[in-house]
Amino acid sequence: MNQPNASRTLKGLLVRVAADQSEGGGYWNGPADSQTCQFVYVAIPETFRRRRGLNKPYSGLSRSLASLGATLPPHLVAHDMHLDPEFDHLTYGDRGDGDSRGAQIQRKLRPGDLLVFYSGLSDVHPNPRLIYAIVGLYVIDSIIKAVSVPRSRWHENAHTRRALAA
């Protein structure tokens, strides 16, 4: 892993991720237990066509959700997630055009800088409330455009799983 340059100021970007009450967020917040600090990261719904065999169905979260006494809402059960960040592979992607988050990352951050992910989660205890929590932190190793990722690694990120035009 690349280390931050001692003569350079460490930078970071705070990024909101996961399902939430918005249309793009699936109208649902993932569960969290405010007493144990356990939570389930529930990604936003995928809205683009995926490459064959690279979908990430919400049904894959059933056991984790059950451990907190939660279940998926019916409108998400048969859908796929836009699993980004992809914590299993330590990747994160975003469009790199205009003033998008991806463009900001490319312009402002370098290896050794931080991406900090936070989410609004729904407490599983009586009188549910939203809990805003840091759900992940990456120290950037490299920044790679999705179109440059080799086929052998397409499964590692939501943006490379998409069936993009060449």
pLDDT digits (tens, 9 = 90+) for 94-135: 777 777 888 889 889 999 999 999 999 999 998 878 999 999
3-class SS shares of the chain: helix, strand, coil, % to 5 = 20, 25, 55
What range does the domain containing 65 cover?
12-161
Percentage of the residues of the chain whose pLDDT score is greater than 70: 95
Domain assignment present for residue 96? The answer is yes
Domain assignment present for residue 70? The answer is yes
Domain assignment present for residue 4? The answer is no
Pairing of strands 44-45, 81-82: antiparallel
Torsion of the alpha carbons at 101, 161, 132 and 121, rounded to the nearest 10:
150
Domain assignment present for residue 87? The answer is yes
Domain count across the chain: 1
**pLDDT score of 166:** 47
Domain assignment present for residue 2? The answer is no
For residue 127, give the nearest of 16, 34, 38 by alpha carbon: 34
Q: Which two tokens stand for residue 69?
A: 């006494």
**pLDDT score of 98:** 76
Indicate the residue type of 94.
D
Write down the pTM of the prediction: 0.89
Q: Return the beta strands (E) in 1-111 as ranges.
A: 12-16, 31-32, 44-45, 81-82
Domain assignment present for residue 38? The answer is yes
Q: Tokens 């989410």 label which residue? A: 119
Given a cut of 70, is residue 165 above it in pLDDT? no
pLDDT tens across 18-50, in order?
999 999 999 999 999 999 999 999 999 999 999
Given a cut of 70, is residue 1 above it in pLDDT? no
* pLDDT-based confidence at residue 148 (cuts at 50, 70, 90): confident
Given a cut of 70, is residue 4 above it in pLDDT? no
Domain assignment present for residue 111? The answer is yes
Domain assignment present for residue 3? The answer is no
